Amino acid sequence: MDLSKLTIAAARQDLDAKKYSALDLTNAYLDAIAQKDGEIHAYLEVWKDSAREEAKRADAMIAKGDIYPLTGIPLAMKDNILIEGRTASSASKILENYHASYDSTVTEKMKAQGAVFLGRTNMDEFAMGSSTENSAYGTTKNPRDTKRVPGGSSGGSAAAVASDMALAALGSDTGGSIRQPASLTGLVGLKPTYGAVSRFGLMAMGSSLDQIGPLTKTVADSKILFDVLKGNDPRDGTSLPDVASIAAPQKKVIGVPRSFLKEGTDPDVLARFEETLKKLEKKGYEIRDVDMPNIPYSLAVYYIVMPAEASTNLSRFDGIRYGLSAAADDIKSVYGKTRAAGFGPEVRRRIILGSFVLSAGYADAYYRRARAVRELIRGDFLRAFQSVDAVVTPTCPAPAFTFGSKSDPVAMYIEDIFSVPANLAGVPAISLPMGTVVRDGSTLPTGFQILAPHTREDILFKIGQELESA
């Protein structure tokens, strides 16, 4: 069994043809984890025994012909998605001993198919970051070059898949946390349309931006997982209704917001991007410049809206309701001591920022203004999609960086420049490999991002598959 070549689609065929059992497959992944994760540190916890039990149950399902796309498929879960009875810490000290009391909707769906849960993966604390360096439990290395970060915040999930320690993994994406680590580790990462996948049981960061999605080796696998995860959920008030997919006629035109791409983007990344556009032309697409005058404001808007929502969401971690609780003489000191001991520096920075932009004196100047500009950004996309099928950009301005090289928070935030517009507009976006660049003797992957109109993941998969075969 060569795990480096294995995909969900291929494993499904092999399992159904009884080439090996789900237990064999799970054991192969557990062996890989035992061999490699000491160095990579993708996992915060590996669930060996329960994974084997789940694999045996999957084998029984397969024997009965009770087979679904994920039956017996070994997957990894980001540490902010709940599985009943399991620790879920969001890589924070404040939730070190928190056990989930219920399954997230995506967990329920995966369990119903007989998926195998290998373990929970490292991440930036509460999904705040682009390198996984903000975890309270140590960093994760990029399997393509262990001197470099795997991206973040779903860096553990990306590293697990990129080093064949899971067949695929789930992540969450508030401003790029699935697509950016996918780009930095050479994987496919999908952020679905806002509302397409239920957020029930995902620890909230920026509630109007968060989506769960897959990190996979191929576009086909991304579609397999998306089809399992998606669907209306009455337990998520922003869940979209299930509608039959509309097969609108394809324009065969792809838009490039040229003026947005130039600033600060690595020239080699831009070269890979241009080569990828050429491939699309060969596939019969017209490449056209699109004017999106407001998307350059996306980063500024994101770093107001997201901290505002995060500061509100994280107020529930007060030492009373969840996790860590510091002893003190009065309730106010319990709150203060617990939060000071439990939250790391980046989380505290964003709570302060968020509380500031929402404060009575400044909400008009910052928060409401950012919301108004967010509407303009949404408008840019709606206008662009009148004339193009999809908009494309590089996923990130540069390849994976070395540990500690972005200790200035703003330098880290700039990493998200191309990924945050999709979250602000709520549109689906996918990142897929677009070739490599060489840095200090290491060959590093880069990512191509495709953005489509709301609910049109089908366009992302179609163009993505055309590029994979180009």
**CA separation for the pair 412, 414 (Å, rounded):** 5
Task: Mark whether 19 is an active-site residue.
Answer: no
Nearest residue to ligand GLN by CB is 177
Neighbouring residues of 172: CB distance < 8 A, sequence distance ≥ 6 = 78, 80, 81, 127, 153, 154, 178, 202, 205, 210, 211, 212, 213
Phi, psi (deg, nearest 5) at residue 468? -60, -35
CA distance 221 to 59: 21
**Rounded Cα–Cα distance for residues 203 and 153 (Å):** 13
Return the number of the residue (205 or 390) whose C-beta is nearest ligand GLN: 205
Residues in region 305-344 near ligand GLN by CB under 6 A: 306
Strands 211-216, 43-46: pairing kind:
unpaired
Q: Would you give the binding string for ligand GLN spanning residues 272-311, x where CB under 6 A is met?
A: ----------------------------------x-----
Nearer residue to ligand GLN within complex by CB, 96 or 346: 346
By beta-carbon proximity to ligand GLN, the closer residue of 130 and 393 is: 130
**With binding defined as CB under 6 A, does residue 177 bind ligand GLN?**
yes
CB 194 within 8 A of CB 156: no
CB neighbours of 42 closer than 8 A, spacing ≥ 6? 76, 121, 122, 140, 150, 155, 156, 157, 159, 160, 163, 165
Characterize 290-322 residue by residue with b for buried, 16 or more Cβ atoms within 10 angstroms of its Cβ, and e for exposed. Answer: bebebbebbbebbbbbbbbbbbbbbeebbbeee
Interface stretch with ligand GLN, choices 29-37, 170-178, 181-189, 438-446 (CB under 6 A): 170-178
Q: Which of 36, 78, 230, 462 is catalytic?
A: 78
Nearer to ligand GLN, 30 or 347 (CB): 347
Decide whether 130 or 311 has the Cβ nearer to ligand GLN. Answer: 130
Q: Does residue number 416 form part of the binding site for ligand GLN (CB under 6 A)?
A: yes
Task: Give min distance, CB of 56 to ligand GLN, in A.
Answer: 35
Q: Is 395 in the site for ligand GLN (CB under 6 A)?
A: no
Element at 414 (helix H, strand E): helix 409-414
Nearer to ligand GLN, 73 or 203 (CB): 203
Residue 146: burial class (beta carbons within 10 Å; 0-12, 13-18, 19+): middle
Which residues face 131 on adjacent strands?
A: none
Residue 58 to residue 66: CA distance in whole angstroms: 9
Q: Which stretch binds ligand GLN (CB under 6 A): 89-97, 168-176, 244-252, 444-452?
A: 168-176
Interaction between residue 153 and ligand GLN (CB under 6 A) = yes
Tokens representing residue 428 in the block: 């689906």
Minimum CB–partner distance for residue 161 and ligand GLN (Å) = 17
Query: What are the start-end ranges of the H helices in 314-368?
Result: 331-342, 345-358
175 binding ligand GLN? (CB under 6 A) = yes
The H helix count followed by the E strand count for the chain is: 16, 11
Tell me, yes or no, if 5 is annotated catalytic: no
Nearer to ligand GLN, 161 or 388 (CB): 161
Beta carbon nearer to ligand GLN, 154 or 338: 154
- How many positions of this chain bind ligand GLN (CB under 6 A)? 13
Catalytic, 153? Answer yes
Site for ligand GLN in 123-152 (CB under 6 A): 127-130
- Minimum Å gap between C-beta 349 and ligand GLN is 11
- Which of 122-130, 216-224, 241-249, 335-343 is the region at the interface with ligand GLN (rule: CB under 6 A)? 122-130
Cα–Cα distance between 164 and 157 in angstroms, integer?
Answer: 11
Residue 202 engages ligand GLN in binding (rule: CB under 6 A): no
Phi, psi of 17 (to 5 degrees): -85, 5
Binding segment for ligand GLN among 59-67, 172-180, 293-301, 315-323 (CB under 6 A)? 172-180
Among residues 74, 155, 176, 354, the one that binds ligand GLN under rule CB under 6 A: 176
| Cβ atoms within 10 Å of 363's Cβ, excluding its own | 15
Catalytic residue among 104, 130, 154, 177: 177
Residues that bind ligand GLN (CB under 6 A): 127-130, 153, 173-177, 205, 306, 416
Catalytic residues: 78, 153, 177
